[in-house]
């Protein structure tokens, strides 16, 4: 299998982490992968907050419902990436939304997050995108300005457990040819 396809297929959502720090060099390599993500008109709306402080992680964990399977990962992972985005940039031209979708920040942040997830996996690390949380509360904890939005949290660390792959739909079940 081609190497990239192998990384794409073998990447799993990781929710359990080893108690092992991540070097700044490794973190920077992963952020570099995010830096090269494609975005609307190359607007690069991302703003990433790297949380290493255990107390801040504990505060942010309170924004995640305890039933979220990644609840513990928020405090266990050595690094917690907070994926924030500048509003009214992606999908806008001269201050006006170009499409009926309005702000494309979620789309661009998804592309960014996938670059992070794939590069992390290729380097032996694991991640999970945590979208189910109280974004407003997390925004306050992070003292984020109103021109930005917190989209998701992304714990990052060395995997302690690699789950088996959840099933995928067959191509024929989601592709239409006309
Ligand atoms: C936008 C988005 C939000 C997600 N939010 C959560 C979450 O809040 N908690 C969680 O445990 N997993 C979350 N996930 C992970 C998915 O559950 C996971 O990607 C999916 O089950 C497929 O598993 P895989 O990533 O191992 O292929 C999220 C994934 C995406 C793309």
**Half-sphere exposure in the Cβ direction for 97 (13 Å, CA):** 9
* 163, pLDDT greater than 70: yes
Q: Which of 68, 66, 82, 71 is nearest to 140 (CA)?
A: 82
Q: Encode pLDDT of 76-126 as tens digits.
A: 999 999 999 999 999 999 999 999 999 999 999 999 999 999 999 999 999
CA of 127 to the centre of ligand 1 (A): 10
Reduce the DSSP state of residue 50 to 3 states and report it.
Answer: strand
Reduce the DSSP state of residue 114 to 3 states and report it.
Answer: helix
Give the model's pLDDT for residue 2. Answer: 72
**Which of 73, 131, 152, 164 for mutating ligand 1's site (highest number of atoms within 8 Å of CB)?**
131
Where does ligand 1 bind, in terms of residues with CB under 6 Å?
12-13, 15, 68-70, 128-132, 166
Share of the chain above pLDDT 70, in %: 99
CA of 146 to the centre of ligand 1 (A): 27
pTM of the predicted model as reported, rounded to 2 decimal places: 0.97
Q: Encode pLDDT of 26-58 as tens digits.
A: 999 999 999 999 999 999 999 999 999 999 999
Mean pLDDT over each residue of the chain, to the nearest integer: 98
Give the model's pLDDT for residue 1. Answer: 65
Residues 6+ apart with CB under 8 A from 42: none
CA of 42 to the centre of ligand 1 (A): 26
State the Cα–Cα distance between residues 132 and 152, nearest whole angstrom.
Answer: 8
Average pLDDT for residues 134-141, to the nearest whole number?
98
CA of 93 to the centre of ligand 1 (A): 32
């Amino acid at each position: 299998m081609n190497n990239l396809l192998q990384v794409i297929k073998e990447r799993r959502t990781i929710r359990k982490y080893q108690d092992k720090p991540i070097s700044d060099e490794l973190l920077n390599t992963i952020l570099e992968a995010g830096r090269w993500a494609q975005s609307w008109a190359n607007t690069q709306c991302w703003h990433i907050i790297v949380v290493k402080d255990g107390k801040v992680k504990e505060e942010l964990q309170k924004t995640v419902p305890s039933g979220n399977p990644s609840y513990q990962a928020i405090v266990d992972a050595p690094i917690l990436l907070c994926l924030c985005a500048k509003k009214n940039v992606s999908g806008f031209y001269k201050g006006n939304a170009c499409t009926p979708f309005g702000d494309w920040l979620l789309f661009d942040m998804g592309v960014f997050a996938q670059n992070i997830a794939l590069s992390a996996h290729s380097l032996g690390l694991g991640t999970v995108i945590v979208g189910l949380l109280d974004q407003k509360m997390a925004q306050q904890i992070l003292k984020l300005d109103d021109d930005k939005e917190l989209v998701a949290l992304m714990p990052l660390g060395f995997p302690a457990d690699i789950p088996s792959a959840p099933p995928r739909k067959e191509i024929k079940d989601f592709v239409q040819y006309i």
